[in-house]
Amino acid sequence: MQKIVLIFCIVLVTVKTGFANSYIENLDINTLNTNLQKAKNYEKQFKFDKAILTLDTALYLAQTEDNKLWFAHLLRMKARSYLISNSLDSAQVYSEKARYEAIQIDNDTIHAMALLNLGSVIRKKGDLDSAKVCYSLALELMEKAKDTIGIAEVLQAFSILYKYTGDYDKGLECALKSNYFYKKLGKTEKYTRSLIDLANIYERLKDYDTALACYEKSYKLSLVKDLPKVAATSLYNKGVIYYRLKKYDLSEAEFNRAIAFNDSIHDSIELTRIHNSISIVYYTTENEEKLKHHLNQSLEIAEILELPDAKMRALNTFGMYYSKKKNYNNSLSYYHESFELAKQMGANKVIASTAGNVSLVYENQGNYKEALKYNRLSADYYDSVFNETKQREIEKHKTNYEILHLKDQNQINEIDKKRMRAERNVTFGLSVFVVVLLLGLLIFFRMRARKNRIIATQRIQKLEDEKKLMAAQSVLVGQEKERERIARELHDGIGVLLSTASIHFSSVEEKADKETGEMLKKANKLLKEAGREVRHISHNMMPGVLSKFGLKEAIEDLFEVVEEAGDVKINLDLTCGEERLAENMEIMIFRVIQELLNNTIKHAKASTVSLYITRGDEEISIDYLDDGIGFDEEKLPQGKNLGVSGIRSRIEYLGGKLKLESEKGKGTRYSISVPISEKIA
């Protein structure tokens, strides 16, 4: 009893442990999902630090539980957060890690998304060729995984890439495909964002009306889906297009709406850009008060958030405005401040541009010495920019060379290893080859002999079939000849004798007494009936109408007799033409139709029979139908089946084809086609 209780307790503990483990596993997945959703929400609020911290927590949990799938997915999401926040170096590191983990677990989708992130990082860094390679690999993996949404995301990335390379036609093609997939799959949020990329391409193609329509549609959908960032971007881009179209009032209105949206989501970085952009509108319309207001707003945000690029843009815009107003002192003040800030940042391109602007201001003041000084400074920095670009290209090629060289070394080492393995196994390989070759030859010759036997058997069978067919044809022809002979002898011989005897009996009958006359009258009646019977038999064996007038008249005569009986309704449609067929062909076709009609009357219990004959240039088509009880040919008794077999034999003799369709309770249909041949005589 104690043992039973102990076993029961062990089982109970095991079951409880199993339930507990299952619960913990489900709890872990739920926790990972919760953290992932939190991170996505933080991204939407532009709280990237909190998003990355939440993802780190989820990554720790996935690693602790050794959940490699989730671990790879979360690494990819962390790379995405860094990418959105423009932390490109970190985004590249985590994209590579996610890619490595995806390869380890053989997950094409995560691998493709990691490549997509990596390509976007590289694109933002300016290496468009390498970005294209990453996108192409990602697209191959998405197509392999049949991930339609993933394919759409890669196409969207391609459209952005082609926009930067200036290949707008390819960019438009990719953007349209991506847009179509999102809409078809009901991914409204992604569809809304992709409309902006599509509009960007139309904008580059100077199709401003279509671009504005796409931005407006994106804006309206973003309001429905609560995507204020997308709404603000759409409004900003509309403002840019209206500025290019010189519709400054509309441009100002759209920029102000974009400022309101970015204020609502506290996107200060984007605010600096919009304030600077709207100030360009006021620069063009010479609205000094509003220009200063928005530039000061841009400068204030840039200083608070320590955004030197935004500050330099605002300072240069101030410098341009005062230079336009010929307030050269204020213009130089802003340009010099921008110049010093650019020097601190090492932004040689901005230094060169600003120095050129300063040179123009000094030239307008008549201070040619300072103008020349800054002009030379601008030229020097432009040379420096050129040299930096050239150096980056050299470094890039150097890195590519080193990678290729490393690959070559690895390939050389691998080739050496393969060569050594090949040398060790060459004897074995040759032996195997010889054995396989001998076996192959043996199998080949055996298969060849077998094939020859099969061909010989088929030839013998074909000859036997031809022999049987010829025999059957001879029998059929013989039967018809014999019928014709017997019919002629019956009609011309016995029929004539009976008619003559009847005439003689009639003559004697007139001279005999009454009693003898009655006997002769009865005998004469019997002779006349015998004559009619002989003519009937002769007609059945070989209708005179057929030999004298042809197939059409013979068939009409045959069916007229049946119709006069009143039991079966007849439908005839005979298009046989005036030209007679070969004698044997007419006889065979008549016999087939006679047999079909005979089968219907005897067995089918039909109320209607239809016959359609059409003669063409090369063949005769016969369609015979009845509405009788139908039958299953395979289940017919041997006696009844002979009728169908006889019909088939005659059709085969004529070189024709027969199709029989019959079902119990649904009547019978014979479809016959016979080629017209002069050989059948």
pLDDT for 27: 45
Q: How large is the average pLDDT for residues 228-232?
A: 83
Q: Quick: pLDDT tens for 459-480.
A: 777 666 555 555 555 555 555 5
Cα separation values, 4 from 1, 7, 15, 241, 385, Å? 5, 5, 17, 85, 87
66 or 671, greater pLDDT:
671
Q: Is pLDDT at 520 greater than 70 in this prediction? A: no
pLDDT for 490 equals: 56
- What average pLDDT does the structure give for the chain? 77
How many angstroms separate the CA atoms of 316 and 371, rounded?
17
| Cβ 32 vs Cβ 58: under 8 Å | yes
Q: Report if residue 670 sits inside a domain.
A: yes
The whole-number pLDDT of residue 584 equals 78
Q: What is the mean pLDDT of residues 380-388?
A: 68
Residue 179 lies in a domain: no
Q: Find the mean pLDDT for residues 572-595.
A: 82
- What pLDDT is stored for residue 33 in this prediction? 79
Distances from the Cα of 628 to the Cα of 556, 599, 600, angstroms? 21, 11, 7
Mean pLDDT computed over 213-218 = 90
Whether residue 628 is contained in a domain is answered as yes
pLDDT given for residue 56 in this prediction: 87
N residues, the chain: 681
Rounded to whole angstroms, the Cα distance separating 234 from 231 reads: 5
Under the banding of pLDDT at 50, 70 and 90, the label for residue 612 is very high
pLDDT at 670: 92
User: Looking at the predicted structure, is the pLDDT value of residue 562 above 70?
Assistant: yes
| Confidence at residue 399, expressed as pLDDT on a 0 to 100 scale | 44
Per-residue pLDDT of 139-198, as tens digits, reads 898 888 888 888 988 898 898 888 888 888 888 899 898 888 888 888 888 888 888 888
The tokens for 44 are 């939407």
Structural domain boundaries, residue 558:
547-675
Residue 533's pLDDT is: 63
Average pLDDT for 328-340:
79
Lowest mean pLDDT among 208-222, 227-241, 406-420, 443-457: 406-420
Q: What is the mean pLDDT of residues 232-236?
A: 87
Determine which of 170-174, 233-237, 322-326 has the lowest per-residue pLDDT on average.
322-326
Flag whether 139 is in a domain.
no
64 domain residue, yes or no: no
Note the pLDDT tens digit of each residue in 23-46: 334 446 787 778 788 878 887 776
- Choose between 94 and 301: higher pLDDT: 94
Distance between CA atoms of residues 601 and 570, nearest Å:
12
pLDDT over 90, % of the chain: 4
pLDDT (mean) for 549-565? 80
Residue 125 lies in a domain: no
> Which residue pairs from 189-196 have beta carbons closer than 8 angstroms and sit at least 24 positions apart in sequence?
189/225, 189/227, 190/149, 190/152, 190/153, 191/221, 192/218, 192/221, 192/222, 192/225, 192/227, 192/230, 193/218, 193/227, 193/230, 194/152, 194/156, 195/221, 195/234, 196/230, 196/233, 196/234, 196/237
- Take residue 120 and report the two structure tokens written for it: 């976007």
Q: Rounded mean pLDDT of 196-219?
A: 89
Query: Exposed, middle or buried: residue 53 (CB in 10 Å: 0-12, 13-18, 19+)?
Result: middle
Q: How many domains does the chain have?
A: 1
Q: How far apart are CA 364 and CA 367, in angstroms?
A: 8
Q: Which helix (H) or strand (E) holds 393?
A: helix 368-489
Residue 191 placed within a domain: no
pLDDT score at 666: 82
Alpha carbons 61 and 574: distance in angstroms, whole number? 89
What is the spatial distance between Cα 668 and Cα 627, in angstroms, rounded to a whole number?
7
* The pLDDT of residue 2 is above 70: no
Question: What Cα–Cα distance (Å) separates residue 179 from each residue in 123, 183, 191, 546?
Answer: 21, 6, 6, 78
Residue 631 falls within a domain, yes or no?
A: yes
Q: CA nearest 320: which of 265, 289, 362, 361?
A: 361
pLDDT value of position 78: 86
- Whole-number pLDDT of residue 25: 44
pTM of the full predicted structure? 0.50
Output the pLDDT for position 501: 63
**Spatial distance between the Cα atoms of 473 and 480, rounded to a whole number of angstroms:** 11
Q: Band of the pLDDT at 213, cuts 50, 70, 90?
A: very high
Share of residues in the chain with pLDDT > 70 (%): 75
pLDDT score of 611: 92
pLDDT at 624: 92
Higher pLDDT, 393 or 161: 161
The better pLDDT of the pair 670, 498 is held by 670
The CATH number assigned to the domain holding 587 equals 3.30.565.10
Q: In 3D, which of 667, 671, 672, 670 has the Cα closest to residue 568?
A: 667
Q: Is the pLDDT of residue 540 over 70?
A: no
